[in-house]
Amino acid sequence: MATEHNHIKTLIDKLETLPQERLDEVEDFVDFLKQQGRDRQLTRAAAQVAEQSFSSVWDNADDSVYDQL
């Protein structure tokens, strides 16, 4: 926990040296990273739902030969 706090403090110190236009860029990038994380969570959730929905279609005797590939 202390290491994480030190890392955050170091980042804050670096941010404080940047001009405003660079801070705007950093903020945009942080927002992008947060959105990317939400998008990944949504994709994983959709895949889990799809897997449950399609399990009866994917797991059948006629297609079992493909399980060996």
* Predicted TM-score (pTM) of this structure: 0.59
Q: Give the pLDDT confidence of 8-66 residue by residue, as tens digits.
A: 999 999 999 999 999 999 999 999 999 999 999 999 999 888 887 887 777 777 777 77
Q: CA–CA separation, 40 vs 46, rounded Å?
A: 10
pLDDT value at residue 50: 86
Any domain includes 41: yes
* Residue 12 structure tokens: 């804050």
Number of domains in the chain: 1
Any domain includes 36: yes
Range of the domain at 48: 25-54
pLDDT value at residue 48: 87
pLDDT value at residue 1: 67
Any domain includes 9: no
pLDDT band of 7, cuts 50, 70, 90: very high
